[in-house]
Amino acid sequence: MKKCLELATKGMGYVSPNPMVGCVIVFNNQIIGEGYHKKYGTAHAEINAIENVKDRSLLKKSTLYVNLEPCVHFGKTPPCTNLIIESEIPKVVIGCRDSYSEVSGKGIEKMQNIGIEVIVGVLEKESRELNKRFFTFHEKKRPYIILKWAESKDGFMAPLNQKKPFWMTSSESKKLVHKWRAEEEAILIGRITAKKDNPSLTVREVAGNNPIRIIIDKNLTLSGDLNLFNSEAKTIIFNSIKSEKTGTNYFIKIDFNYLIKKILKELHKQNIQSFKIEGGSITLQSFIDANIWDEARIFTANKLLSQGLKTPIIEGKIILERKIGTDTLEIITNR
């Protein structure tokens, strides 16, 4: 199962809205086939693992391991349970059940009904953690939300009266942030951050897909010349004025009296399973105050500002603390 999880991570950033899945097939304590879900719309892990087996006759005496319950419905590809049954694999070991309503126990039941031995719950915690975005999306009906900011040693996010883009952390931290961008479907910022920093919110430092860019601009006062409005990635602009599409820019009108609720509802409707907030303290604190967040990633730079914009106030469980270049990174969970 550890091998399944290792394989599954290779699909990060490429398989959403599907989950990350890895699969290995074992005969006489030897792996004879393995595979993972490589890209949304292509074959699932179980299919790739079965097709990787050179001697198909061995499948009738083998055990299939997979970190998530095999699908039982027709989507972009046929159900994996069908091929498992057709291959006469006698035993299937599963990391965790799939909470997606189209699957949720049905794959397990279908295999058990024809006599396959099914074991569920091997490295279950690790299997759910790997696909925390997928499970949050289907169980809470909203994307998985990651807060990210950098602060000085004396607790400031930016200088007072900031006039130009300001980067506080080390080059190592910057590269890591770009890697994180490639792992999430979208990045959200507010109007002030867009205006002051003029960010591109792309993955220039690493290989990977650019995330969808999300901006909150109630009265549409931002200049169309900003980097966020170029064609490098899709941009969603939540506002109170209009809904229209212009090139890669999607203007969506929402009720700002229920801002967070409306944003989450719209992103869920668009099948966006995760987003990272790289905005300023006001945007970050609004999600913290509403207690609608899952994880916070906070860099503390080796710098003093003496005065400036104070950081958000957050409570949670620290699950990681380590050095990144000259910075300290803390990861806090809200679970």
**Before 165, cis peptide (omega within 30)?**
no
User: Cβ distance 298 to 152 under 8 Å?
Assistant: no
Beta bridge partners of 91: 63, 117
Return the beta strands (E) in the chain as ranges: 22-27, 30-36, 63-68, 91-96, 117-120, 144-151, 156-158, 186-190, 212-216, 235-239, 244-246, 249-253, 274-277, 295-300, 309-310, 317-324, 327-333
Catalytic residue among 46, 69, 151, 278: 46
Q: Give dist(CA 270, CA 133) in Å, integer.
A: 15
Place of tokens 């006698």: 90
Return the beta strands (E) in 43-177 as ranges: 63-68, 91-96, 117-120, 144-151, 156-158
Contacts of 140 (CB under 8 A, 6+ apart): none
For this structure, is 46 an active site residue? Answer: yes
Long-range contacts of 50-58 (CB under 8 A, 24+ apart): 50/25, 50/83, 50/84, 50/87, 52/25, 53/25, 56/87, 58/27, 58/32
Which residues are catalytic, by number? Answer: 46
